[in-house]
Structure 1
Amino acid sequence: MFTPTVGPIVGHTTTDHARIFLRGDHDNNLAFAGIRYRRQGDTAWSKGHFVQLKAYRDMTDVIVLQGLQPDTTYEYQAGWLSPLSPTHTVETVQELPLQWPRKTYHLRTQPHETSTPRAYIVGSCRYLRITRGVPLLPGLGDRTFAGINRVVEQADPPINAVLMTGDQVYLDDLNVIAPDRNYKNILFKYRTAFTQPHIRKLMSSVPTYMILDDHEIEDNWPAYKTGNDEVLYANAMSAYSLYQASHSPAHELSSAGTFNKSLKRYWYLVAHGDIEWFVTDSRTQRNLAADDRRILDDEQEQTLLKWLIHSPARVKFVVTSVMFFPDSKRNDGDAWQAFAKQRLRLLETIRNQGIKNVIFVSGDVHGSMTSRLYHSQDPDFEVNTVVSSPFYNSKLLPFAKASDFIFDLPLARTEHGEYHYALTSPVVSQDNFARLHVAAQSVQVTFHDRDGHPLQTVDIPLR
Structure 2
Amino acid sequence: MSSPSLVLGPLMRYVDETSASIWVETGHSATVTVRAADRSFEARTFSVHGHHFALVEVQGLEPGSKTPYTVEVNSRQVWPPQADEADRADGEEAAEGSGRSHHPELPPSVIATLRPGKPLRLTYGSCRTSVTHDEKGNRSHGVDALRALSLRMATDPDVRWPDLVLFLGDQVYADETSEAMQDFIASRRDIEEPPGKELKDFEEYAHLYELAWTDPANRWLLSTLPSAMIFDDHDVRDDWNTSLAWKHKMDATRWWHERVVAGLSSYWVYQHIGNLSPEERGKDEIWRQVLDHEGADELDLTAELDALAARVDTDPECYRWSYARDIADVRLVVIDSRCARVLDPERRALLDPLELQWLDEQMRGGFRHLLLGTSLPYLLPPGLHHLEAWNEAVAGGAWGPRFQRIGEWMRQTVDLEHWGAWQRSFQRVGEMALEVADGRRGPAPRTVTFLSGDVHHSYVSEVRRRGARTIRGRQGARIVQAVCSPIRNPLPRAMRYLTALLAYAIAGPMGRLASRSAQVPKAPFTWRKLAGPWFDNMIATLEDSDEGLLLRWEKGVVDDDPFAPRLETVEEVLIRSR
List aligned pairs for 1:44-63, cutoff 5 A.
45-54=38-47, 56=49, 58-63=51-56
Specify the alignment match of 1:88 in structure 2: none
CA offsets 1:7-59 (integer angstroms, 9 cap, x no match) = 11000101121111111103xxx433221112xxxxxx323524234354721
How many Å separate the matches in 2 of 1:335 and 1:191?
Answer: 30
How high is the TM-score relative to the length of structure 1? 0.83
**Residue identity in the other structure for 1:242:** V
1:106 maps to 2:110:
yes
Residues 1:313 and 1:352: Cα distance change in structure 2 (over 3 Å): closer
Q: Is the 8 A contact 1:376 1:418 kept in 2?
A: no
Of 311, 332, 337, the match for 1:277: 332
How far the C-alpha of 1:371 sits from its partner, in A, is 0.6
1:158 maps to 2:161:
yes
How far the C-alpha of 1:63 sits from its partner, in A, is 0.7
Specify the alignment match of 1:345 in structure 2: 428
1:267 maps to 2:322:
yes
How many Å separate the matches in 2 of 1:11 and 1:376?
Answer: 42
Residues 1:414 and 1:441: Cα distance change in structure 2 (over 3 Å): farther
How far the C-alpha of 1:421 sits from its partner, in A, is 1.1
**Residue identity in the other structure for 2:455:** V
List aligned pairs for 1:296-335, cutoff 5 A.
296-309=351-364, 311-327=365-381, 329=384, 331=388, 332-335=415-418
Q: Is the 8 A contact 1:57 1:242 kept in 2?
A: no
Question: 3-state DSSP class of the match of 2:363?
Answer: helix
CA RMSD of aligned residues (A): 3.2
Which stretch of the first structure deviates more once superposed, 299-308 or 54-63?
54-63
How many Å separate the matches in 2 of 1:325 and 1:64?
Answer: 38
Question: 3-state DSSP class of the match of 1:444?
Answer: strand
Specify the alignment match of 1:127 in structure 2: 129
How many Å separate the matches in 2 of 1:141 and 1:64?
Answer: 37
How far the C-alpha of 1:298 sits from its partner, in A, is 1.5
Q: Is the 8 A contact 1:33 1:53 kept in 2?
A: no
Specify the alignment match of 2:229 in structure 1: 210
Residues 1:414 and 1:235: Cα distance change in structure 2 (over 3 Å): closer
How far the C-alpha of 1:290 sits from its partner, in A, is 2.4
How far the C-alpha of 1:396 sits from its partner, in A, is 5.8
Which stretch of the first structure deviates more once superposed, 2-11 or 170-179?
170-179
Residues 1:125 and 1:11: Cα distance change in structure 2 (over 3 Å): same
Q: Is the 8 A contact 1:17 1:66 kept in 2?
A: yes
How many Å separate the matches in 2 of 1:427 and 1:435?
Answer: 16
CA offsets 1:135-180 (integer angstroms, 9 cap, x no match) = x949967732221124545576531000000000000005985211
Specify the alignment match of 1:430 in structure 2: 536
Specify the alignment match of 2:342 in structure 1: 287
Residues 1:164 and 1:205: Cα distance change in structure 2 (over 3 Å): same
How many Å separate the matches in 2 of 1:426 and 1:165?
Answer: 19
Specify the alignment match of 1:37 in structure 2: 36
How far the C-alpha of 1:317 sits from its partner, in A, is 0.4
Q: Is the 8 A contact 2:170 2:232 kept in 1?
A: yes
Q: Is the 8 A contact 2:332 2:372 kept in 1?
A: yes
Q: Is the 8 A contact 2:109 2:224 kept in 1?
A: yes
Q: Is the 8 A contact 2:201 2:262 kept in 1?
A: yes
How many Å separate the matches in 2 of 1:34 and 1:389?
Answer: 36
Residues 1:244 and 1:102: Cα distance change in structure 2 (over 3 Å): closer
How far the C-alpha of 1:373 sits from its partner, in A, is 1.1
**Residue identity in the other structure for 2:575:** I
How many Å separate the matches in 1 of 2:147 and 2:358?
Answer: 37
Residues 1:402 and 1:250: Cα distance change in structure 2 (over 3 Å): farther
1:118 maps to 2:145:
no
Residues 1:55 and 1:414: Cα distance change in structure 2 (over 3 Å): closer
Of 45, 62, 69, the match for 1:76: 69
How many Å separate the matches in 2 of 1:168 and 1:415?
Answer: 34
Q: Is the 8 A contact 1:141 1:391 kept in 2?
A: no
Q: Is the 8 A contact 2:31 2:42 kept in 1?
A: no
How far the C-alpha of 1:308 sits from its partner, in A, is 1.5
How many Å separate the matches in 1 of 2:525 and 2:170?
Answer: 30
How high is the TM-score relative to the length of structure 2? 0.68
Question: 3-state DSSP class of the match of 2:540?
Answer: strand
Query: Which structure shows the bigger proportion of residues in helix conformation?
Result: 2
Question: 3-state DSSP class of the match of 1:5?
Answer: strand
Q: Is the 8 A contact 1:142 1:197 kept in 2?
A: no
How far the C-alpha of 1:365 sits from its partner, in A, is 0.3
**Residue identity in the other structure for 2:373:** V
How far the C-alpha of 1:333 sits from its partner, in A, is 3.1
User: Percent identical across equivalent pairs?
Assistant: 21
CA offsets 1:211-243 (integer angstroms, 9 cap, x no match) = 000001100112333223222110111111111
